[in-house]
């Protein structure tokens, strides 16, 4: 007897534990039966949800798509002026004798600078490069008398060997004859202008009286693609008066000749503009402004070269105007939508009054009736919400072809995407739909079959 009592008790506890689940399954079965019995009413209620979500969210999708077009155009115009990617910028500094900066320090600062810009602006890093320059040095021939040939600079650019073609001479990855002569690589146009020959030796120094550096033209080069993201400016023009050297040669030969170790240090940063979100435009502007302030704390005197602040600020101003116009357009639509929701909900409640009164007469409480209606609406939300989002995107895309009221014209497809999803508006639509469905049920939930 003790064993039977124990087994029975355990079984009762198991049933009690799963009772809420069984009740929930029963409620779901009842909801499905009610929905299938009144299929046309169910479709009407589903249409209610789809229209509520679609008509409320389409303005957000349309605004985001138009903003995307405007911002893309602003950035494209800016990129056409600068001839580089829109989110490409450079941080530069001119070291002094009091605050020297060599190549090793430039390399160490590169990761921090790129991380600050990427983190503050909020876009992933696409490319990071460094360049260091000796500043202008006087070039002269070694013949007697020595002839002054002009001012040139010695430049090291990280990974430049992969971006240039050697027209004549040694590749930068190969070593020439050892000795005290510095191998340099000259742009082919500059070599032709100078009438220089391969392996010619020259002297270079800060002044004609300084102990000169002997250098040899080890090769002539041209860029593989002057418009590649690797270059901040057109290399055939910006590096026309520059001689390229290898990293070790710059550290060993050039840095000791300059009290500040370098006359110019540059960090070229490109952020991935394919990840931009129009709603974050203000964040991008603030991020660039904060970045240079942060960088200036550990690199005093550092400056930021041509970030895309102007196109971003122009876009923000135009976007604010567009938002106000669309809000005024949507206010009447919200009123019509609310009226439609209340009307359809009243129709549904009227058709279900007899069923509701039957449930009340059989012992279902008012809260039970409300919970049943709430559950029915939640089931419709699960189906209608994604369909309503798709409907809103379709409306937004169709609005892209409009030129005026009920007039449409052919133009490129508006880039409508889920980036324009406004969860606050979608939640508002679902809330209105739920309230409009529950409100007529309040009165029906107190009615019994005798009252009916």
Q: What is the mean pLDDT of residues 412-434?
A: 78
Both tokens assigned to 418: 């889920």
Average pLDDT, the chain: 80
Cβ–Cβ < 8 Å for 376, 31? yes
Sequence-ordered alpha helix ranges (H) in 185-308: 188-194, 235-238, 247-249, 281-298
List the domain boundaries for the chain: 21-69+317-444, 87-307
pLDDT at 442: 66
C-alpha–C-alpha distance, residues 428 and 150, integer Å = 71
244-248, 351-355, 432-436: least confident range: 351-355
> How would residue 433 be classed by pLDDT, with cut points 50, 70 and 90?
confident
pLDDT digits (tens, 9 = 90+) for 118-158: 999 999 999 999 999 998 888 888 876 678 888 899 999 99
pLDDT at 197: 87
pLDDT at 144: 65
Of the candidates 214, 198, 204, 200, which has an alpha carbon nearest to the alpha carbon of residue 140?
A: 204
pLDDT at 15 over 60: no
> How would residue 6 be classed by pLDDT, with cut points 50, 70 and 90?
low
> How would residue 1 be classed by pLDDT, with cut points 50, 70 and 90?
very low
Cβ–Cβ < 8 Å for 243, 156? no
Helix (H, G, I), strand (E, B) or coil at 140: strand
pLDDT at 270: 92
Q: Which residue has the higher pLDDT, 289 or 433?
A: 289
What's the pTM?
Answer: 0.74
Residue positions counted in the chain: 452
C-alpha–C-alpha distance, residues 257 and 133, integer Å = 12
pLDDT at 115: 92
pLDDT digits (tens, 9 = 90+) for 339-354: 777 777 777 766 666 6
pLDDT at 17 over 50: yes
Q: What is the mean pLDDT of residues 256-275?
A: 90
pLDDT digits (tens, 9 = 90+) for 71-90: 888 888 888 888 888 888 99
pLDDT at 4 over 60: no
Cβ–Cβ < 8 Å for 367, 27? no
Of the candidates 9, 266, 26, 312, which has an alpha carbon nearest to the alpha carbon of residue 134?
A: 266
pLDDT at 395 over 80: yes
pLDDT at 16: 58
pLDDT at 2: 44
Residues contacting residue 312 through CB under 8 Å, at least 6 positions apart: 71, 74, 281, 284, 285
Cβ–Cβ < 8 Å for 286, 294? no
- The rounded percent of the chain whose pLDDT value lies above 90 is 19
pLDDT at 323 over 80: no
């Amino acid at each position: 007897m003790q064993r039977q009592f124990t087994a029975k008790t355990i079984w009762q506890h198991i049933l009690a534990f799963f009772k809420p689940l069984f009740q929930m399954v029963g409620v779901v079965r009842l909801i499905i039966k009610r929905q299938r019995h009144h299929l046309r009413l169910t479709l009407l209620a589903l249409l209610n949800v789809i229209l509520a979500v679609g008509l409320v969210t389409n303005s957000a999708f349309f605004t985001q798509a138009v903003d995307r077009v405007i911002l893309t155009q602003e950035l494209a115009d800016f990129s056409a002026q600068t001839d580089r990617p829109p989110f490409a910028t450079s941080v530069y500094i001119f070291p002094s004798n009091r605050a020297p900066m060599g190549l090793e320090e430039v390399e160490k600062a590169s990761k921090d600078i790129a991380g600050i810009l990427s983190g503050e602006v909020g876009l992933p890093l696409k490319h990071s490069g460094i360049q260091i320059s000796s500043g202008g040095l006087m070039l002269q021939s070694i013949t007697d008398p020595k002839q002054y040939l002009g001012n040139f600079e010695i430049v090291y650019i990280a990974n430049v060997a992969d971006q240039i073609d050697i027209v004549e001479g040694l590749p930068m990855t190969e070593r020439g004859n050892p000795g005290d002569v510095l191998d340099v690589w000259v742009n082919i146009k500059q070599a032709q202008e100078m009438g220089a020959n391969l392996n010619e030796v020259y002297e270079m120094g800060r002044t004609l009286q300084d102990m000169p550096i002997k250098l040899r033209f080890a090769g002539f080069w041209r860029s593989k693609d002057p418009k590649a993201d690797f270059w901040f400016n057109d290399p055939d023009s910006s590096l026309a008066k520059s001689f390229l050297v290898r990293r070790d040669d710059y550290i060993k030969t050039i840095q000791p000749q300059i009290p500040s170790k370098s006359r110019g240090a540059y960090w070229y940063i490109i952020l991935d503009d394919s990840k931009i979100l129009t709603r974050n435009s203000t964040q991008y502007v603030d991020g660039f402004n904060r970045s240079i302030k942060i960088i200036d704390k550990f690199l005093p005197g550092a400056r930021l070269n041509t970030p895309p602040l102007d196109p971003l600020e122009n876009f923000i101003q135009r976007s604010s105007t567009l938002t106000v116009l669309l809000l005024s357009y949507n206010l009447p639509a919200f009123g019509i939508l609310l009226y439609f929701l209340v009307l359809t909900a009243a129709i549904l409640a009227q058709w279900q009054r007899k069923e509701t009164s039957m449930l009340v007469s059989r012992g279902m409480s008012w809260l039970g009736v409300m919970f049943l209606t709430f559950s029915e609406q939640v089931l419709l939300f699960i189906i209608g919400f994604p369909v309503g989002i798709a409907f809103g995107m379709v409306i937004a895309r169709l609005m892209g072809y409009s030129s005026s009221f009920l007039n449409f014209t052919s133009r490129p497809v508006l880039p409508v995407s889920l980036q324009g999803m406004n969860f606050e508006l979608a939640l508002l639509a679902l809330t209105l739909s739920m309230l409009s469905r529950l409100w007529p049920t309040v009165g029906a939930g107190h009615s019994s079959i005798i009252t009916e």
